[in-house]
């Protein structure tokens, strides 16, 4: 079968698309396994980091990357709840960017009617993380105000959509006007450019401060973010696309009774299928209401390098998805 292969840690230009052996019947995350004919696979920042060996989960080289995929069940054990031919989306953890992938049955969901494979491949990593970050780690209440950094990215746009669906006023911080349009399309009520004045612009929109700041970007935005939080506000740490890991001056937390909380969805659910399923069910209800991940780029398998480079060059809008010829 054909697959994307990472065989060295020198960045996206060194990935290859080639024939590899089909996956076995056991998954590193354990439990009964389903096999799917992949129609679409997600490409996200964690896999970009894997091309340089910089992600916390770094499989031995060479390996087939791919945290998530959507497709059609080709094999499933009788007690798995799935049958051959079912349309599904699955958290594969690794190996999703291949014509055939395996996933724990417990981490596989029926693809709702009305959702295409690309949306399915864009759902689990980012929608589940966004729900976990907002509802569980950020304790979002309807009517609160939420700032989302990197709001036109894969995770950022899901944070925007889910925060809006849960009743928040959403302020999106993005680097270009084009990305501002995209963030509004995801549900942002206000957009602010990530220039030297971004914090002043947020302050103009929310003079009394904001309740939650979701940050997948890091870098130099943390201190200003903490200054923008009103009393008992929550700063939710999701990632560091800007490269630098920020330092927090803890006096700021004391002065205004603030929380800084990490939201590492993968670390939370990989060992806990019950938590995984609970978050998935909550996201499933949002999908039923019509909330969707926004797919910005559908790239054919042969263009995998381009797909990764969209993320590296900061040009990606929403989710980047690899499409498999069927």
Ligand X SMILES: NC(=O)c1ccc[n+]([C@@H]2O[C@H](COP(=O)([O-])OP(=O)(O)OC[C@H]3O[C@@H](n4cnc5c(N)ncnc54)[C@H](OP(=O)(O)O)[C@@H]3O)[C@@H](O)[C@H]2O)c1
Q: Which residues bind ligand X (CB under 6 A)?
A: 44-46, 125, 129, 150, 152-156, 174-175, 179, 194, 216-217, 238-243, 263-266, 311, 314, 316
Rounded least distance, CB 98 to ligand X, Å:
19
CB of 105 to ligand X, least distance (A): 22
Task: Find, among 31, 29, 22, 34, the residue nearest to 102 by Cα.
Answer: 34
Q: Which residue, 32 or 46, has its beta carbon nearer to ligand X?
A: 46
Cβ proximity to ligand X, 73 vs 186, nearer residue: 186
Decide whether 82 or 276 has the Cβ nearer to ligand X. Answer: 276
Rounded (5°) CA angle 149-209-236: 40
CA distance 2 to 99: 6
Is 313 exposed, middle or buried (CB count within 10 Å of its CB: 0-12, 13-18, 19+)? Answer: exposed
Token pair for 224: 């200003």
| Nearest residue (beta carbon) to ligand X | 153
For residue 146, what are the β-bridge partners?
170, 212
Q: Whose Cβ is closer to ligand X: residue 108's or residue 129's?
A: 129
Two tokens, residue 96: 């999703």
C-beta of 87 vs 128, nearer to ligand X: 128
In this structure, are residues 125 and 67 in contact, taking their beta carbons and an 8 Å threshold?
yes
The distance of closest approach from Cβ of residue 312 to ligand X in the complex, given in angstroms and rounded to an integer, is 7
Question: C-alpha distances in angstroms, 192 versus 45, 148, 164, 216, 242?
Answer: 23, 10, 16, 16, 17
CB of 16 to ligand X, least distance (A): 22
Cα separation values, 289 from 82, 108, 166, 174, 190, Å: 24, 20, 11, 27, 23
Minimum distance of ligand X from residue 148's CB (angstroms): 10
The tokens describing 55, both together, are 């992600």
Q: Token match 């399915």: residue?
A: 120
Q: Which is nearer to ligand X, 52 or 74 (CB)?
A: 52
Contact present, 3 and 75 (Cβ < 8 Å): no
Residue 95's region, left for phi above 0, alpha for psi from -120 to 50, else beta, is left
User: Closer to ligand X at the Cβ: 265 or 324?
Assistant: 265
């Amino acid at each position: 079968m054909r697959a994307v292969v990472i065989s060295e840690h020198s960045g996206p230009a060194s990935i290859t698309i080639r024939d590899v052996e089909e996956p076995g019947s056991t998954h590193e995350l354990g439990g009964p396994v389903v096999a799917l004919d992949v129609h679409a696979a997600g490409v996200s920042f964690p896999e970009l980091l894997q091309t340089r060996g910089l992600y916390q989960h770094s499989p031995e080289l060479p390996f087939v990357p791919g945290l998530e995929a959507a497709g059609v069940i080709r094999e499933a054990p009788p007690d798995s709840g799935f049958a051959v031919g079912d349309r599904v989306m699955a958290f594969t953890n690794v190996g999703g960017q291949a014509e055939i992938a395996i996933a724990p049955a417990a981490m596989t969901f029926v693809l709702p009617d009305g959702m295409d494979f690309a949306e399915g491949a864009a759902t689990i990593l980012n929608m589940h993380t966004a729900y976990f970050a907002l509802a569980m780690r950020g304790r979002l209440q309807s009517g609160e105000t939420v700032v989302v950094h990197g709001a036109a990215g894969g995770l950022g746009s899901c944070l925007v959509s889910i925060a809006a669906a849960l009743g928040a006023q959403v302020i999106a911080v993005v680097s270009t006007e084009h990305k501002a349009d995209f963030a509004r399309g995801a549900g942002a009520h206000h957009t602010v450019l990530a220039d030297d004045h971004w914090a002043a612009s947020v302050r103009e929109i929310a003079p009394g401060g904001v309740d939650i700041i979701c940050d997948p970007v890091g870098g130099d935005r943390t201190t200003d973010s903490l200054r923008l939080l009103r009393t008992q506000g929550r700063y939710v740490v999701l990632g560091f696309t800007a490269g630098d890991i920020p330092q927090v001056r803890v006096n700021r937390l004391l002065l205004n009774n603030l929380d800084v909380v990490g939201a590492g969805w993968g670390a939370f659910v990989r060992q806990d299928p019950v938590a995984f399923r609970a978050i998935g069910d909550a996201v499933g209800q949002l999908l039923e209401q019509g909330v969707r991940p926004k797919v910005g780029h559908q790239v054919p398998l042969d263009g995998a390098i381009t797909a990764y480079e969209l993320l590296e060059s900061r040009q990606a809008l929403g989710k980047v998805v690899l499409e498999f010829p069927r």
